[in-house]
Amino acid sequence: MEYKKSKAVLVGLCTGEDDAEELEKSLCELERLLDTAGGECFATLTQNKDKPDPRTLIGSGKVEELSQLCRGNNVELVVFDEELSPSQIRNLEDDIGGDVRVIDRSMLILDIFALHAVTKEGKLQVELAQLKYTAPRLTGQGKDLSRLGGGIGTRGPGESKLESDRRHMKHRIYALEEELKVLEKNRRTMRAARDRSGIPKIAIVGYTNAGKSTLLNRLTDAGILAEDKLFATLDPTTRKFEMPSGESVLLTDTVGFIRKLPHHLIKAFRSTLDEASFADALMIVLDVSDPEHTAQLEVTEHLLEELGASGKPTLYVLNKCDLGAAGLPNIGVPAVRENLVAVSARTGQGIDLLLEKMQELMHAGKVRKVFHIPNREAGALNTLYQNATVENVEYTAEEILVTAVVDAKIHGMMKKYDPDWVEPEEE
C-alpha cells in the first residue's frame, strides 16, 4: 500500500537539564518511525519546561508557534514524542486549528504495527490496541470520524471499526478479546506441543532493526521479510534448526523492542512477546554499528525483565560487524563478555563461531551423566530419549547404561538412576 507522504512536525518536551541529549535521540528515532509510517519530517520543535502543561503538554506560546509553523507550510500532522491524553489531543487540535491532526509516539507505533501485521492474531492485537488507545483519542469533540479517511494515525485493520459508533466500540473490544483468547489458547497448545518435543527453544530478541530476522534467515531458510524499517516483524516465526552436532533447536524470531514502548502496547502484544518468556535461552541481537547500541541493550534487558524473560542463559550477538564497529563494544558487566560473538547476519561473517556459542548456550546448565537403568525399567530410557541428548547406550545383563546430557529438571526426574546423585541444598 502506498500512502502519500504526510508532512509532519515532531514535538518534544524536555523537562530536566540532563534530558536534552536523551530527547534528541528519542526525536531522531521518532523521525525514523515517521519515515517507516510513510511520513516526512518537515521540522522538529522542542521546548524546555520544568513541568508539562496539563492542557496542551507544551506551553501556550509554543502551541502558537506550532500552529503558525503548520498552517504556513501545509503541515498535516504533528507527532508528539510524549504520550498525550485524549483531552490534550483535543486541545492541541483546537488550538492549532486547520485540519492538522495531532498524534503521539504510541499512536505512530501502532500505525506501523497496523501496516506490518500479517497474521490474524497480529491484526486482532493491533485492532484491539487501536480501539483502546487510538480510538478514544480520535473520537474527540467535533471530529467527524468518517472524514478522517486514512493517513498516519488512523489506518489499519481497525480503521473501518474506528468509524463506527462509539457505543459499538465496547462490543467490538469484547469480541476481539474473546477471539484473541481463542488464538492465545491455540498458541499455548502449540507451545505445549513444542515443549513435549523436548527440543530446546531459543528466542531471538533485541531492539528493532538489529537484524533478528536477517539472522534467522541466515541460519534457516525462514524467508522472513527483513528490511531497513522499524518493526518490520510483528508476528513471531519459529523454525527448527539443526546444529552442526546434529542436535535440533527451535529458533523464534520476535517483535523488536524500542525505547518508550508504552505499557498498553506491551499488554496488547503480550501473547506474541511471551515467546521470549517461554524460551529456554535467548540470543540478544545488537546492531553494533548503531552508536546507540548500549542504550538499546539496556532497553532490551529492561523489557525482558518486565516480560519475566530475564535470567535465562543468554548469548549476545553483536551484529552488523561488517559495518566496521571499532572493537568490541562496551556492554556492561565483564561476565557478559564471555557470552558474546561478533557476526554479520548479512555477509555470514562469524556465523561459524556463533554456532559454537549456540552449542554452548544449549548446554548451559546441563551436565553429562551415566544413568544406570535396570532392565525392567527400560521405559526410563524413553524419557531420556525425549528430553535429553542421549550419547551412548550400553546393555548389560542387569541394566542399561545410558550416557546423556541432561538439564537440571530431567536430571532431578532421573536421579534414582544416577549413582552420583547429591540432593541439592535447600536455598
Ligand X SMILES: Nc1nc2c(ncn2[C@@H]2O[C@H](COP(=O)(O)OP(=O)(O)OP(=O)(O)O)[C@@H](O)[C@H]2O)c(=O)[nH]1
Residue ranges binding ligand X (CB under 6 A): 206, 208-214, 226-233, 256, 319-320, 322-323, 344-346
Closest CA to 84 of 76, 93, 75: 93
**Residue 373 forms beta bridges with which residues?**
400
Instruction: Select the residue whose beta carbon is closest to ligand X and give its number.
Output: 256
- Name the residue among 405, 333, 330, 328 with its Cα closest to residue 370: 405
Give the sign of the dihedral formed by CA 323, CA 328, CA 332, CA 336: positive
Closer residue to Mg ion (CB): 323 or 378: 323
Q: Which of residues 193-212 bind Mg ion (CB under 5 A)?
A: 212
We find the least distance from the C-beta atom of residue 215 to ligand X, in angstroms, to be: 7
> Which listed option, ligand X, Mg ion, none, makes contact with residue 300 (CB within 5 to 8 Å by class)?
none
Residue with Cβ nearer Mg ion (105 or 212): 212
Judged by CB, which is closer to Mg ion: 154, or 233? 233
List the x/- string, 227-266, binding to Mg ion by CB under 5 A.
-----xx---------------------------------
Residue 210 binding: pick among ligand X, Mg ion, none (C-beta 5-8 Å cut-off by kind): ligand X
Report in angstroms how near the CB of residue 120 gets to ligand X at its nearest.
Answer: 19
Considering beta carbons, is residue 125 or 213 the nearer one to Mg ion? 213
Q: Dig out the grid coordinates for 328 from the structure.
A: 568490541
Write the CB contacts of 19 (distance below 8 Å, at least 6 apart in sequence).
Answer: none
231 three-class SS: coil
Task: Report the distance separating Cα 122 and Cα 127, nearest Å.
Answer: 9
DSSP run (H or E) holding 277? helix 270-277
Among ligand X, Mg ion, none, partner that 258 touches (CB below 5 to 8 angstroms by kind):
none
Query: Closer to ligand X at the Cβ: 14 or 321?
Result: 321
Q: Position 399: which residue type?
A: E
Which residue lies nearer to Mg ion by CB, 39 or 206?
Answer: 206
271 binds, options Mg ion, ligand X, none, Cβ within 5 to 8 A by partner type: none
CB of 417 to ligand X, least distance (A): 43
Residue with cell 499488554: 267
Residue 24 near which of ligand X, Mg ion, none (CB within 5-8 Å, type-dependent): none
Closest CA to 230 of 265, 251, 259: 259
Q: What is the DSSP-derived secondary structure letter of residue 53?
A: B
- φ, ψ of residue 128 in degrees (nearest 5): -65, -45
The residue within the footprint of Mg ion, chosen from 26, 125, 130, 213 (CB under 5 A), is 213
Copy the grid coordinates of residue 58.
507544551
CB 137, min distance to ligand X, A? 25
Instruction: Give yes or no for a contact between 408 and 364, defined as CB atoms under 8 angstroms apart.
Output: no
Q: Residue 254 binds which one of ligand X, Mg ion, none, with CB within 5 to 8 A depending on kind?
A: none
* Nearest position to Mg ion, beta carbon: 233
Which residue, 134 or 233, has its beta carbon nearer to Mg ion?
233
Rounded-to-integer distance, Cα 340 and Cα 337, Å:
5
Q: Which residues bind Mg ion (CB under 5 A)?
A: 212-213, 232-233
